[in-house]
Amino acid sequence: MIPESFSHVVLVTGYRSWNDEQSMRSAFNDAWRDWGAENVTRPVLISGHCPDGADAMAERLWRAAGFEIRTFAAAWSAHGKRAGFQRNQEMVDAAQVFREAGAQVLCTAFLGFCRKPGCPQRDQEQLMPHTPGHFSHGTIHCRSCARAAGIVTATVIHPSLPPF
Protein backbone atom coordinates (compact mmCIF):
# COMPACT_ATOMS: atom_id res chain seq x y z
CA MET A 1 0.00 0.00 0.00
CA ILE A 2 1.33 3.41 -0.95
CA PRO A 3 0.76 5.94 1.84
CA GLU A 4 -1.51 8.71 0.66
CA SER A 5 -1.53 12.18 2.11
CA PHE A 6 -4.29 11.73 4.66
CA SER A 7 -4.18 14.18 7.53
CA HIS A 8 -6.23 12.04 9.94
CA VAL A 9 -7.19 8.38 10.09
CA VAL A 10 -10.01 6.79 12.07
CA LEU A 11 -9.86 3.01 12.29
CA VAL A 12 -13.31 1.77 13.26
CA THR A 13 -13.93 -1.58 14.90
CA GLY A 14 -17.17 -2.61 16.47
CA TYR A 15 -19.94 -4.89 17.41
CA ARG A 16 -21.94 -6.39 14.51
CA SER A 17 -25.19 -5.34 16.17
CA TRP A 18 -24.08 -1.78 16.99
CA ASN A 19 -27.11 0.48 16.55
CA ASP A 20 -26.34 3.64 18.51
CA GLU A 21 -25.63 6.36 15.96
CA GLN A 22 -25.60 9.11 18.59
CA SER A 23 -22.67 7.52 20.47
CA MET A 24 -20.78 6.98 17.23
CA ARG A 25 -21.31 10.58 16.13
CA SER A 26 -20.15 11.75 19.56
CA ALA A 27 -16.97 9.67 19.33
CA PHE A 28 -16.15 11.08 15.89
CA ASN A 29 -16.96 14.64 17.02
CA ASP A 30 -14.73 14.20 20.08
CA ALA A 31 -11.87 13.17 17.77
CA TRP A 32 -12.38 16.26 15.61
CA ARG A 33 -12.38 18.51 18.70
CA ASP A 34 -9.22 16.85 20.05
CA TRP A 35 -7.46 17.19 16.71
CA GLY A 36 -8.73 20.70 16.06
CA ALA A 37 -11.29 20.77 13.26
CA GLU A 38 -9.17 23.21 11.26
CA ASN A 39 -6.34 20.63 11.17
CA VAL A 40 -8.49 17.84 9.70
CA THR A 41 -7.89 18.50 6.01
CA ARG A 42 -8.15 15.00 4.51
CA PRO A 43 -9.60 12.37 6.84
CA VAL A 44 -10.03 8.71 5.97
CA LEU A 45 -11.94 5.89 7.64
CA ILE A 46 -10.44 2.40 7.83
CA SER A 47 -13.23 -0.15 8.13
CA GLY A 48 -13.60 -3.93 8.22
CA HIS A 49 -16.57 -3.47 5.87
CA CYS A 50 -19.05 -5.66 7.79
CA PRO A 51 -22.48 -5.11 6.21
CA ASP A 52 -24.07 -4.66 9.65
CA GLY A 53 -23.36 -2.84 12.88
CA ALA A 54 -20.53 -0.42 13.60
CA ASP A 55 -18.65 -0.80 10.31
CA ALA A 56 -21.74 -0.19 8.17
CA MET A 57 -22.85 2.75 10.31
CA ALA A 58 -19.42 4.40 10.27
CA GLU A 59 -19.12 3.98 6.51
CA ARG A 60 -22.58 5.50 6.01
CA LEU A 61 -21.73 8.51 8.21
CA TRP A 62 -18.39 9.10 6.49
CA ARG A 63 -19.85 8.69 3.01
CA ALA A 64 -22.62 11.20 3.87
CA ALA A 65 -19.94 13.69 5.01
CA GLY A 66 -18.05 13.22 1.74
CA PHE A 67 -14.98 11.64 3.39
CA GLU A 68 -12.84 8.83 2.00
CA ILE A 69 -13.08 5.22 3.19
CA ARG A 70 -10.60 2.35 2.89
CA THR A 71 -12.22 -1.05 3.44
CA PHE A 72 -10.65 -4.32 4.51
CA ALA A 73 -13.18 -7.10 4.11
CA ALA A 74 -12.37 -10.38 5.82
CA ALA A 75 -11.58 -13.27 3.46
CA TRP A 76 -13.79 -15.82 5.23
CA SER A 77 -13.70 -18.43 2.45
CA ALA A 78 -9.91 -18.32 2.25
CA HIS A 79 -9.05 -18.08 5.96
CA GLY A 80 -12.03 -19.51 7.84
CA LYS A 81 -12.52 -18.47 11.47
CA ARG A 82 -9.18 -16.63 11.55
CA ALA A 83 -10.20 -14.28 8.70
CA GLY A 84 -11.59 -11.60 11.00
CA PHE A 85 -8.50 -11.54 13.18
CA GLN A 86 -6.23 -11.45 10.12
CA ARG A 87 -8.27 -8.57 8.68
CA ASN A 88 -8.03 -6.70 11.99
CA GLN A 89 -4.25 -6.88 11.90
CA GLU A 90 -4.24 -5.71 8.27
CA MET A 91 -6.30 -2.65 9.27
CA VAL A 92 -3.93 -1.85 12.13
CA ASP A 93 -0.93 -2.30 9.81
CA ALA A 94 -2.51 0.12 7.31
CA ALA A 95 -3.16 2.65 10.08
CA GLN A 96 0.50 2.41 11.07
CA VAL A 97 1.59 3.09 7.47
CA PHE A 98 -0.54 6.23 7.42
CA ARG A 99 0.81 7.28 10.84
CA GLU A 100 4.39 6.82 9.60
CA ALA A 101 3.48 9.04 6.63
CA GLY A 102 2.45 11.80 9.08
CA ALA A 103 -1.27 11.24 9.70
CA GLN A 104 -2.87 11.46 13.12
CA VAL A 105 -4.46 8.06 13.85
CA LEU A 106 -7.26 7.03 16.19
CA CYS A 107 -8.87 3.64 16.69
CA THR A 108 -12.52 3.83 17.75
CA ALA A 109 -13.81 0.61 19.33
CA PHE A 110 -17.60 0.27 19.70
CA LEU A 111 -18.15 -2.52 22.22
CA GLY A 112 -21.11 -4.77 22.91
CA PHE A 113 -21.27 -8.07 24.78
CA CYS A 114 -20.58 -11.35 23.01
CA ARG A 115 -23.93 -12.98 22.28
CA LYS A 116 -22.54 -16.20 20.82
CA PRO A 117 -24.63 -19.08 22.24
CA GLY A 118 -22.47 -21.50 24.21
CA CYS A 119 -19.34 -19.36 23.90
CA PRO A 120 -16.61 -21.07 25.97
CA GLN A 121 -15.38 -17.64 27.11
CA ARG A 122 -18.80 -16.61 28.43
CA ASP A 123 -17.67 -16.25 32.08
CA GLN A 124 -14.44 -14.37 31.38
CA GLU A 125 -13.89 -10.71 32.19
CA GLN A 126 -12.25 -8.81 29.34
CA LEU A 127 -12.42 -5.11 29.99
CA MET A 128 -13.60 -4.25 33.47
CA PRO A 129 -12.99 -6.20 36.67
CA HIS A 130 -16.02 -7.89 38.18
CA THR A 131 -18.07 -7.50 34.99
CA PRO A 132 -20.01 -10.62 34.06
CA GLY A 133 -19.56 -11.82 30.50
CA HIS A 134 -17.19 -10.50 27.92
CA PHE A 135 -17.17 -8.22 24.93
CA SER A 136 -17.34 -9.16 21.26
CA HIS A 137 -14.25 -11.11 20.24
CA GLY A 138 -13.42 -9.31 17.00
CA THR A 139 -13.75 -5.83 18.47
CA ILE A 140 -11.59 -6.69 21.48
CA HIS A 141 -8.99 -8.28 19.20
CA CYS A 142 -8.76 -5.26 16.88
CA ARG A 143 -8.70 -2.86 19.85
CA SER A 144 -5.87 -4.90 21.42
CA CYS A 145 -3.86 -4.92 18.17
CA ALA A 146 -4.26 -1.15 17.83
CA ARG A 147 -3.20 -0.52 21.42
CA ALA A 148 -0.20 -2.87 21.04
CA ALA A 149 0.82 -0.83 17.98
CA GLY A 150 0.71 2.37 20.04
CA ILE A 151 -2.41 3.70 18.32
CA VAL A 152 -4.54 5.98 20.48
CA THR A 153 -7.80 4.15 21.14
CA ALA A 154 -11.22 5.46 22.13
CA THR A 155 -13.52 2.84 23.62
CA VAL A 156 -17.29 3.33 23.45
CA ILE A 157 -19.47 0.86 25.34
CA HIS A 158 -23.01 0.45 24.06
CA PRO A 159 -25.37 2.52 26.25
CA SER A 160 -27.73 -0.44 26.72
CA LEU A 161 -25.10 -2.19 28.85
CA PRO A 162 -24.91 -1.63 32.60
CA PRO A 163 -22.68 1.25 33.72
CA PHE A 164 -19.14 0.30 34.68
Predicted local confidence at residue 40, as pLDDT:
95
Predicted local confidence at residue 136, as pLDDT:
86
Instruction: Find all residues with CB under 8 Å of 140, minimum gap 6, and list them.
Output: 109, 111, 126, 127, 134
Predicted local confidence at residue 91, as pLDDT:
98
- Of the chain, the end-to-end C-alpha distance in Å amounts to 40
> What distances in angstroms separate CA 2 from CA 16, 110, 118, 155, one per listed residue?
30, 28, 43, 29
CB-side exposure of 31: number of CA atoms within 13 Å? Answer: 26
Predicted local confidence at residue 163, as pLDDT:
59
Walk along the chain (164 residues) in steps of 10 and give the mean pLDDT of each run: 80 95 97 95 96 97 97 95 96 96 96 80 60 79 96 91 61
Predicted local confidence at residue 155, as pLDDT:
93
Full set of structural domains in the chain with CATH: 8-157 (3.40.50)
